[in-house]
Amino acid sequence: MIRYLQIFGTFVAASLVRDMTFRLNFILECVTGLGWMAMNLAFYLLVFSYTPEIGAGSGWTKPPFFVFLGTGLIINAIVQAFFMPSAEEFAEMVRTGGLDTTLVKPVDAQFLLSMHRVKFSAFANGLVGVALVAWGVSKLDPAPTTAAWLLYPLLLACGVAILYGFIVMLAAATILMGRNQSLYDFWFYITNFSRYPAEIYTGPWGGPLRMVCTFVLPILLVVNVPAHTLALPIRTADVRLIIAAVVAAAVMLGLSRLTFQAAISKYRSASS
Amino acid sequence: MSGSATLSREQLLPSWHGWSTMLSISVADRLAHRGDFFVGTLFRFLPIVTQIFLWTAVFSAAGSGLIAGYSRNDFVAYYLLTMMARSFSSMPGLAGGIARSVRDGSVKKYLVQPVDYVGFLMAARVAHKLVYFAIAAAPFSLMFFLCRDFFPPLPEATTIAAFLATLVMSFLLGFFLEATLGMLGFWVLEVSSLIFVYMLAQYLLSGHMFPLDMLDSIELTQAGFTLGDLVQLMPFQYTAYFPCAVWLGKIEGQELAYGLLVEAIWVVVAAAACRIAFLRGTRRYSAYGG
């Protein structure tokens, strides 16, 4: 474990050197991310100028909703910083045969392939997320309980773990399907469902969709559970969702491990 | 090498045969990736699903049946129509491609051959759109059929004609705006940050994110000049908001005629800007070696 932490530390240092070598590019990436984020924020501010709440009786008024947005930004920043850059390179490695050199190295292939590159510019949005959560929490009445504060980091970690599982399985699909040019597209469309509070999915279509996105593809647990735990009062039903998030994180990590190993066993080198 | 001096009028305005050849080359190129096109188009409708639920939730708490003059059904119809308008006006990779061809020197083949570069790019985009609609017609029809209850009754023939005219002009406007942006590559080496600013402005100010009427509630001056008024002075609204508002009957009569005229003027201005940028750019462009 310590050895892996040391290797990861080396990856972080190397990525930092790389990012700082192209400082202007780094600044542009930060500005790009912040620009899109600011635009989304402006959109929700506009929406709240027309309605006091997203979903009648849902509790998602402006302060809790901004805690929700901030939580989403934090989780996505962690995923975009630590896992997404490596996953994006993965498809190219399969296509060119560059995967071969990785597989013969004396470290775990999944660790190496999913965490070797860190994108520091992704943290810019994460910092804004922290600021949004701080602003939202300061306006909450009642303020979050101690239990909520203790659960929040654990549930953030669960959200990250669920998304990591999705990324690894999508990357594994690269080997099985022979193509994954649209990895990022799939990622966008999957995570799109997690961008809003689960309470909006109601009615004859919304109910089943909510169930599927909670218990089959647990994408709705990623942001909803930590944000709900911190921003809104915890009820009995929410405790079940908290347990579901922890279980889903464990299942996704296990399942992604199995999928990845199955995919690697089917890998046939593309190099000569 | 200086390209513009060698261009004759015939080269700038290629014959029908030249146009059809450029078009058929581009159609063949696009058809090679038809599978990606089909799957990509289907997935692009997924965010509409979340938009339906989001706006249903917003309206359930808003306490009013209308937001900025739009009902919940209008919002859903608006987003679907926006997808159609954007499929006409969006030009993925156009500006970046032009700037790259200037940077890596590949633009010089258009300067020494009897082919007009802007004309070639236009033919390629027309081909791209033709193939796109041929393949995307099925998923588009399916989605519009499934969501038919969100739409108001079919508008009059004149409104439909105006809608189609706005779509064609939105294609031309989107093309010339982005092509002009790409031509800036003759003066600045890296236009990616400019493209980013353009995309941001385009997404926010075109009405892609929300109907621009929502901005009418934000007053900028005491005289009642709103953010909506300011945004409507820009050309971006014609690439998304305007066609949708026309179909939904939000813009009618004299206002519609005036809007179509202003859109046509923007197309002419953007086309002139693109042509001038190309001519001036090629005049200062230099390339050496093979």
DSSP class of residue A140?
A: -
In this structure, is residue B137 part of a structural domain? yes
CA distance A102 to A92: 13
Which regions of chain A are under pLDDT 70?
A: 177-184, 270-272
Q: Do B209 and A39 touch (CB under 8 A)?
A: yes
Q: What is the pLDDT of residue A142?
A: 87
Q: Quick one: tokens of A198?
A: 């689960």
Q: Is a pLDDT exceeding 70 seen at residue B10?
A: no
Q: What is the pLDDT of residue A183?
A: 62
CA distance B94 to B98: 6
How far from the centroid of its chain's Cα atoms is residue B142's Cα? Answer: 23
φ/ψ region of B105 (left if φ > 0, alpha if ψ in -120 to 50, else beta) reads left
* A:B CB pairs within 8 Å: 82
3-state helix, strand, coil in chain B (%, to 5): 75, 0, 25
* Nearest by Cα to A29 from A116, A131, A122: A122
Q: Nearest Cβ partner of A46 from B47, B50, B210?
A: B210
B189 burial via Cβ count (<10 Å: 0-12, 13-18, 19+): exposed
Each residue's pLDDT tens digit, B158-176: 999 999 999 999 999 999 9
B56 contacts in A (CB within 8 Å)?
200, 202-203
Lowest-confidence segment of A170-184, B105-119, B138-152 by average pLDDT: A170-184
Tell me if chain B has a CB within 8 Å of the CB of A200: yes
Q: What is the pLDDT of residue B241?
A: 96
Q: Which of residues 142-171 of B touch A (CB under 8 A)?
A: none
* Nearest by Cα to A197 from A78, A66, A49, A48: A66
Q: What is the pLDDT of residue A184?
A: 64
Quick one: angle between helices B72-89 and B46-62, nearest 10?
150
Each residue's pLDDT tens digit, B63-82: 888 999 999 999 999 999 99
In this structure, is residue B48 part of a structural domain? yes
Contact B86, B166 (CB under 8 A): no
Q: What is the pLDDT of residue B11?
A: 53
In this structure, is residue B289 part of a structural domain? no
**Beta-carbon count within 10 A of B266 CB:** 22
Tell me if chain B has a CB within 8 Å of the CB of A55: yes
Each residue's pLDDT tens digit, A86-108: 887 887 777 777 788 888 888 88
In this structure, is residue B290 part of a structural domain? no
In this structure, is residue B63 part of a structural domain? yes
Q: Is a pLDDT exceeding 50 seen at residue B4?
A: no
In this structure, is residue B197 part of a structural domain? yes
B209 contacts in A (CB within 8 Å)?
39, 43
Portion of chain B with pLDDT greater than 70, in percent? 88
Q: What is the pLDDT of residue B35?
A: 65
In this structure, is residue B129 part of a structural domain? yes
Tell me if chain B has a CB within 8 Å of the CB of A22: no
Contact B172, B91 (CB under 8 A): no
Residue-averaged pLDDT of chain B: 86
Enclosing domain of residue B65: 4-284
B67: helix, strand or coil: strand
Q: Quick one: tokens of A223?
A: 């942001």
Q: What is the pLDDT of residue A18?
A: 87
Q: Quick one: tokens of A262?
A: 């199955």
CA distance A56 to chain B (A): 4
Residue whose entry in the numeric block shows the structure tokens 């199995």:
A258
In this structure, is residue B101 part of a structural domain? yes
Count of structural domains, chain B: 1
